[in-house]
Amino acid sequence: MKVEDCETDFPKLPALQKIETYPITGDKNIQMADNSFSDGVPPDSLEAAKNASNTEKLADQVMQNPQVLAALQERLDSVSHTPSSYIETLPKAVKRRINALKQLQVKCAHIEAKFYEEVHDLERKYAALYQPLFDKRREFITGDAEPTDAESEWHSENEEEDKLAGDIKNKAIIAEKEAAAAEEPNPKGIPEFWFTIFRNVDMLSELVQEYDEPILKHLQDIKVKFSDPGQPMSFVLEFHFESNDYFTNSVLTKTYKMKSEPDKADPFSFEGPEIVDCDGCTIDWKKGKNVTVKTIKKKQKHKGRGTVRTITKQVPNDSFFNFFSPLKASGDGESLDEDSEFTLASDFEIGHFFRERIVPRAVLYFTGEAIEDDDNFEEGEEGEEEELEGDEEGEDEDDAEINPKV
């Protein structure tokens, strides 16, 4: 068709000859045209007009459905309320100011890192003040020193009941108790002090095998040593053993290396110092006493002669003392598998627990008081959550009373 032909009149479609209704859903109907048109109209045009009309009217009916509208609105709300999608809608000038805030946040993270470095210096300072008390603790445990009456005096929660019971006792009973006390064994120090802590704490008892127990009974002390000033942040766990039949070492060590600086690739993930690697030590086992390996026997058959020979082979064995042969953190872009990452994370957690809880509060883990406190704290959190849920339910009931139609 030429441009000049645009001025000519287009043929007019004849009027619809018949209208039929087709029920869709509910009480509403969509009217659809019959195909009875006058001659001269192309079939394709008729079909296109029919489909367009059907689609438009069907869309109108769907959009009148409240459930469909609610679902669409919910979808739109979820998209519009996403923080990242909201940021994308902001003007460039506002985005520029947000980038400036992020620059400030990175600087805050570096200041926070300096704060934790000074905290580490304070830990080192106060560790020196704690150490004389810990040294005396070791003397009482090993029996190298005996506490005085003043040092051994402790006011228990049942002190009043004990005093009342003591007033009721007569001299004969007291004499009898004195005689029994004279016959009571008086072991040296506090036997199996640290081994008992290992048994009481689930995190540690899971690592201890039956064949580890006789060795751990020789453990006399555990110390924490902090890195020197000016050195990279780290701490060392020292396990002091008395002379035993298993190894010649008097001290086994585990060094935990720490990092207290924001990651260049992800500075906003910084939340304080974190353990990034650890080193163990070599245990000088006496012959036949290494519990970290076990010997197995295996038969081999010669392919040609058919003869059979028996060989012995050492394979790794589960033991707490594998704690001193840790996995190394990945380096040079290498990545650990999922199991290795879990093992390394567990190792870091145990080292942190020794440093923060076991060593400073050893006597309370020996008696179990610290463990009871931890359990009570966890139960309190759960109870508080249940109570809050109950409050929410109560609020719903109140609303139902005010608005009974809801």
| Domain coordinates in residue numbering, the chain | 104-147+189-288+319-329+338-374
Q: What is the dihedral of CA 198, 204, 205, 210, to 10 degrees?
A: -80
The answer to whether residues 233 and 271 touch, using CB atoms and an 8 Å cutoff, is no
The answer to whether residues 220 and 242 touch, using CB atoms and an 8 Å cutoff, is yes
Backbone phi and psi for residue 99, each to the nearest 5 degrees, phi listed first = -60, -35
Per-residue pLDDT of the chain (406 residues; tens, 9 = 90+): 444 444 444 444 444 444 444 444 444 444 444 444 445 555 566 666 666 666 776 667 666 777 777 776 676 566 556 777 788 888 899 989 999 999 999 999 999 999 998 999 999 999 999 999 999 999 999 999 999 999 999 887 665 555 555 566 556 566 666 666 566 778 899 999 999 999 999 999 999 999 999 999 999 999 999 999 888 899 999 999 999 999 999 999 999 999 888 888 888 888 888 888 999 999 999 999 999 999 888 877 777 777 888 888 889 999 999 999 998 876 655 677 788 889 889 999 999 999 999 999 999 999 999 987 666 555 545 545 444 444 444 444 444 443 444 3
The answer to whether residues 276 and 233 touch, using CB atoms and an 8 Å cutoff, is no
pLDDT tens readout for residues 15-59: 444 444 444 444 444 444 444 444 555 556 666 666 666 677 666
- Amino acid present at 66: P
- Amino acid present at 31: Q
Beta bridge partners of 178: none
Tokens of 62: 């769907």
244 CA to centre of own chain: 38
Residue percentage of the chain with pLDDT more than 90: 42
Residue percentage of the chain with pLDDT more than 70: 66
- Amino acid present at 208: V
- CB neighbour list of residue 363: distance below 8 Å, 6 or more residues apart: 137
The span from the CA of 292 to the CA of 211, in Å, is 10
pLDDT tens readout for residues 358-373: 999 999 999 999 987 6
Note the CATH architecture for domain 104-147+189-288+319-329+338-374.
2-Layer Sandwich (3.30)
The span from the CA of 46 to the CA of 49, in Å, is 5
E strand or H helix at 313: strand 308-316
What's the N-to-C CA distance of the chain in angstroms? 65
pLDDT tens readout for residues 123-135: 999 999 999 999 9
Tokens of 101: 């805030």
pLDDT tens readout for residues 144-162: 999 999 999 988 766 555 5
> Could you tell me the pTM of the whole model?
0.66
